[in-house]
Structure 1
Amino acid sequence: MTVEQKAKTLTHFINGEEVIGVSSRYSDVFNPSTGEVIAQVPLATKEEVQDAIELAKKAYPGWKNTAIGKRVEVVYRFRQLLVEHQEKLIDVICEESGKTREDAKGEILRGIESVDMAISAPQMLKGEYSVNVGGNINAYSAKSPLGVVACIAPFNFPVMVPLAITSMAVAVGNAVILKPSERVPISALYLSKLWKEAGLPNGVWTVINGDKDAVNELLENDNIQAISFVGSTPVAEYIYQTGTKHNKRVAAFGGGKNFMIVMPDANLEQTANAFLGAAYGAASQRCMAISGAIAVGADTEKKFIEILKEKIANLKVGPYTDPEVDFGPVITKQSKENIIKHIDLALEEGASLAVDGRKPEISENSNGFYLGATLLHNVKPEMTIFKEEVFGPARIVVGVETLQQAIDLINDHELGNGVTIFTNSGPAARKFQEEIEVGMVGVNVPIPIPVGYHNFGGWKRSKFGEGHMFGPDQARFFTKAKTISERWPDETEDTTTSFAFPSNDEIKPKE
């Protein structure tokens, strides 16, 4: 039996049902650990996306008018199902993304934090009320859902990101259309089954699989009110510019070049351990992964590289079926080739190899997309590998003389997603926190990703739009506010016509 015959054909999830795609276009879904095709996902036509939007539009009014307490009951049941089906979800994540089981479990737990935040939607939806702002008028605000919203997710977090960008949208009363990455569609379809089992009405949750054609329809369709996107910076910029051109609210989260500043007073052994996990975990396919270390002082740089070389030599790359591996493959063969090109170019531009992971031992006996941990040093700011995000296990060390130089290097970079400093100096940490121009900042924290009830978002070209992922801003992004001024006149009031600008003068009784 051929690989193609083994591969199952996936569906969309529309109006509460698995729907077979009518497009003649399909994309292969790989198991990165083996290189095998495990499924084929349909790439929706423009007409399929339009039909799905229309069904979501019909479902929206009923969900919007459902009492918030009842909506939250559904979200809570969905949370319970996530916990109950955790092991199965781990299996799905590992098979289609290549992550280790430990990493997949951590992803699910972080995703559940977003569901927990969505359960607090009643608190997030409370308005404000002022009595007698003037003239016996009471003023208050009310929040309403937007309508049909679209969420476009990346491959690197098949469960966490979809939960992060959809849970609150559902809870506050929107109908949500999720377009997952065509590389990892199975996880999104599994989430669809759990939403249905939780009691979410048909049409409120939709998964439409596709590529740029599907995305463009979501960006241009007048019935889509908002777009939440996570992916690379060039695509994030395209999503933002196209979506806002079509009068949509857009929050587009792009890439990061996240540095760890290593001060001379830091415990280098502890810092190196923190660097390893933050830099190479999930094969470095995280937008918040540490891209490189900036070591302050030549002695710090030399010692840090020597410690890292020894530790990296002990890292194990392999399939998720091996409980002893530290990280798995990258997502596709093309990704692997692109990462190797970045390493080769860095060497051409003058960087030096401290550790070469381009040909790990496992790659000789497997068709999986494996790369070992690579560490480059003698890297300069003008080099491509310093300027561009490398979505794979090729990390760098840069040497500077002072903390100010490290801060300036980071602030001059076009990306500003995450950054951290390792130090035992309070004044150094305070200077760093105050002067750094990055959205998410850590002090002795390897990956400064906020918990689910704090806002997530980078600065500069790491984020386009004013929305955030995680936190209370999720509720604000997926709702619109209405301010109401209300007065009930009685027979004693003077109703003489006034042409003056409305003010807070008291109402005068009839004479």
Structure 2
Amino acid sequence: MRMITQFIDGERRSFPSVRLTPVFEPNTGQVQAHLEHADATTVAQAVAVAKAAQPAWSRNSPQHRAQVMFRFKALLETHQQELAAIMSSEHGKLIDDSLGELRRGLDVVDLVCGVPHLQKGEYTKGAGPGVDVYSIREALGVVAGITPFNFPAMIPLWMMAPAIAVGNAFVLKPSSRTPSASMRLAELALEAGVPAGIFNVVHGDQVAGEAITGHPDIKAVSFVGSTVVAKAVYARGAGAGKRMQCMGGAKNHGVVLPDADLDQVVQDALAGAFGSAGQRCMAMPVLVVVGEKTAEDLRKRLVGAIANLRVGGAPDRAAQMGPVVTGEHKRKVEGYIQLAIDEGADVVVDGRGRSLPGSEEGFFLWPTLIDNTTTTMRSYQEEIFGPVLQIVRAETFEEALSYPSSHHQGNAVSIFTRSGDMAQRFVEQVAVGMVGVNFPMPVPVSYHSFGGWKDSAFGDLNQYGEDSIRFFTRTKLVTQRWPSENTIVR
């Protein structure tokens, strides 16, 4: 059985450990590897290696680090099929989904190839008589990332690429469910010219995570995961004096007005709710539909479209949805479907109780559609993180606007309408961090930044874009005055 170890100081290293967990193949339900968990001592070794390597790396010119990032980007492009296969084999997402994920990660690598410009400071000449003021953006030292199972390459790239490009050393703890992509990223970074010790990967669970947030030599931590864990990680790291950036869960709404193009809404809803089996923080698992006639029409269209949705294994290039990540997660999602029934919602299409011929042990769930959901239901309030789409009915625009605005998670929201006026009112008034207009998953491009509001994000700076450069650097301000030669006493 394959063993997944740590990546420290430029090589795969195994440490004596009795703590092993299985890594599953979601398409078959079989164990494909065992993962070695890092303890606090192992994390400390990775941090020590990173701390020793970082000063020399940061002294390189920004142009040199940019050249390394260019080579890294080229290697990622060369190996994208290999990386996609690794991701799909551990996550279960379709190959095309994995390739799409990698492209979004590559966008951030592409961005930080411009680090000589991004890391520039500012200069003011003549701020006072003979006084100039300028700023310098310096690397923090050793920084870390803790990433979720659902994007095993993209989110590590969102974190490590800007962190390393500006001169830091980076310690990554990926999800124990999808660990192998990070190992391959580390090897490709080394091949690109990132020195040994600058990018290290440690595996594990809460033990390794707490070792990272508690280590005094780690100056900043970027985290993506559930809201409960994000809040705890933020509190622990901030309490230890670290710079923290913690992205939590989401319950993203799609608000459908009566004038919307319902054919397009159906296609966007299928992609938003069921793409990647709904296991992404930018999924659109709730449709808030204004007007009974619109709701009935949309429900009927969705039932027909869901019936034609093809569920299949990752290698099936005609499939539109694959399995969820583990059997445990499948049972959790099924529990939410039953909860919705118990709460009085109407399960129109039930995705439970089916299996894929030839892959009967795989972790497959079919799409589920739930209507007449109310905002008091737990199944509405909590993030399901699976292929479940809920319909909430509203009578007016103002009522529909209030639902995403009052929800405790404020990651993303979309509105579907032909009215520019209504769309503009919605954009201005909705209390959510990322907004789409006739667009189901409003993930910003790499040169903006990614981040929600309320319980979806903890910390002042978002991911990627210029915010990532600010997060992974500290500003030094210099005020200088030089005496003129005629004032020097000889």
User: Hey, what does 2:243 align to over in structure 1?
Assistant: 249
Q: Paired residue for 2:302?
A: 308
2:480 aligned with 1:486: yes
Q: Does 1:23 align with 2:17?
A: yes
Give, in angstroms, the shift of residue 467 of structure 1. 1.7
Q: Distance in 1 between matches of 2:488 and 2:12?
A: 63
CA deviation string 1:200-241 (max 9, x = no partner): 111100001111111101101110000000111101001100
**Is 2:384 aligned against 1:396?**
no
Q: Distance in 2 between matches of 1:320 and 1:51?
A: 37
Conserved in 2, the CA contact under 8 Å of 1:363 and 1:369? no
- 1:4-153 equivalences under 5 Å are 7-153=1-147
Choose the corresponding residue for 1:421, options 389, 393, 415.
Answer: 415
Give the aligned partner of residue 432 of structure 1: 426
Provide the secondary structure at the position in 2 that maps to 1:290. Answer: coil
Structure 2 distance, partners of 1:352, 1:150, is 44
CA distance in 2, matches of 1:482, 1:249: 16
- Following superposition of structure 1 onto structure 2, how do residues 271-420 of structure 1 map, counting pairs within 5 Å? 271-362=265-356, 366-420=360-414
Unpaired stretches in structure 1, ≥5 consecutive residues: 1-6, 496-511
Output the amino acid matched with 2:409.
Answer: L
Distance in 2 (alpha carbons) for counterparts of 1:93 and 1:343: 27
Q: Show the counterpart of 1:442.
A: 436
Shift in CA distance, 488/366, structure 1 to aligned 2, threshold 3 Å = same
User: 1:86 and 1:409 mapped to 2: Cα distance?
Assistant: 40
Classify 1:361/1:184 alpha carbon distance in 2 versus 1 (closer, same or farther; 3 Å). closer
- Partner residue, 1:173: 167
| Alignment match of 1:230 (pick from 216, 224, 227) | 224
Q: What SS does the corresponding residue of 2:443 show, helix, strand or coil?
A: coil
1:60–1:175 Cα contact (<8 Å) kept: yes
Looking at structure 1, the residues matched to 286 and 191 of structure 2 have their Cα atoms a distance apart, in angstroms, of: 44
Q: Deviations over 1:257-306 (max 9, x none)?
A: 00000110011111111110111000000100001100000111110000
What RMSD over aligned residues (CA atoms) do the two structures have, in Å? 1.2
CA positional deviation for 1:361 = 3.9
- Cα shift readout 1:458-493 (whole Å, capped 9, x = no counterpart): 000000001211211010000000110111113544
Relative to structure 1, the CA distance from residue 363 to residue 213 in structure 2 (aligned partners, 3 Å threshold; closer, same or farther) is farther
Query: C-alpha separation between the residues in 2 aligned to 1:293 and 1:150?
Result: 36
Match of 2:451 in 1: 457
Distance, in Å, in 1 between the alignment partners of 2:358 and 2:189 is 42
Question: Quick one: distance in 2 between partners of 1:139 and 1:164?
Answer: 32
Pick which of 145-154 and 356-365 moved more: 356-365
1 CA distance for matches of 2:49 and 2:480? Answer: 36
Cα distance between partner residues in 2 of 1:198 and 1:344:
49
- 2:255–2:415: 8 Å Cα contact kept in structure 1? yes
1:384-437 superposed Cα distances (whole Å, 9 cap, x missing partner): 111000010111000001111011111110000000001000111011000001
Following the alignment from structure 1 to structure 2, what is the Cα–Cα distance between the partners of residues 132 and 244? 38
Secondary structure, in 3 states, of the residue corresponding to 1:9? Answer: strand
CA distance in 2, matches of 1:80, 1:140: 35
Q: Distance in 2 between matches of 1:13 and 1:465?
A: 29
**CA separation in 2, counterparts of 1:168 and 1:200?**
13
Q: Pick the aligned partner of 2:263 from 262, 269, 282.
A: 269
Identity of aligned residues (%): 42
Cα distance in 2 for residues equivalent to 1:78 and 1:365? 37
**Contact 1:363/1:370 (CA < 8 Å) preserved in 2?**
no
In 1, are the aligned partners of 2:249 and 2:383 still within 8 Å (CA)?
A: yes
Contact 2:28–2:359 (CA<8 Å) still a contact in 1?
A: no
* CA distance in 2: counterparts of 1:212 and 1:316, whole angstroms: 37
**Post-superposition CA distance 1:23-76 (Å, at most 9, x none):** 211111001110111111110111111111011000010011011111111111
Residue type at the aligned position of 1:296: V
Q: 1: CA distance between counterparts of 2:4 and 2:114?
A: 34
Mapping for residues 200-219 of structure 1, pairs under 5 Å: 200-219=194-213
* Runs of 4+ that moved beyond 4 A: 491-495
Supply the distance in 2 between the matched residues of 1:451 and 1:263 (Cα, whole angstroms).
Answer: 26
> Which amino acid in structure 2 is aligned with residue 111 of structure 1?
G
Q: Distance in 2 between matches of 1:273 and 1:48?
A: 47
Structure 2 segments unaligned to the other structure (5+ residues) = none
- The structure with more radius of gyration: 1
SS at match of 2:189: helix
- AA aligned to 1:311 is A
Residue 135 of structure 1: CA displacement? 2.6
Query: Which secondary structure does the structure 2 equivalent of 1:378 belong to?
Result: strand
Q: Is the 8 A contact 2:247 2:451 kept in 1?
A: yes
Whole-Å separation in 1 of the counterparts to 2:72 and 2:18: 34
Pairs aligned (count): 489
2:191 is the alignment partner of 1:164? no
